[in-house]
Structure formats: C-alpha cells, structure tokens
Amino acid sequence: MSRLLKRFEQEGFIRRLRGHIILCTEQGKVFPKLPKQSPAL
C-alpha cells in the first residue's frame, strides 16, 4: 500500500482528486462542506 500511495503522490493524483473535491465543495452541488481531514481520502 505504501508503494502505491507514494506512486500516486508522485503522479499528483491525490492533488488532482483533492482539488476536484474542493471545487465540488465550493459549488455545494456534489458534496456538502467536508472536514479538513477526511478519512475517505
């Protein structure tokens, strides 16, 4: 798992995912306001 996480971090996948969630949160259409630390991520 740690290898996959590091690989995803290097590819910037997590940043893109978090950015997308933040955009959805700002729109308020897809997700309600999420806590700063979400266990789902």
pLDDT at 12: 76
Instruction: State CA 21 to chain mean position distance.
Output: 6
Q: Is 70 exceeded by the pLDDT of residue 3?
A: yes
**CA separation for the pair 25, 5 (Å, rounded):** 24
The answer to whether 24 and 31 have CB atoms below 8 angstroms apart is: yes
Instruction: Note down the domain range covering 41.
Output: 1-41
Q: How many domains, the chain? A: 1
Give per-residue pLDDT as tens, 4-41.
778 767 777 767 777 766 665 555 555 555 566 555 55
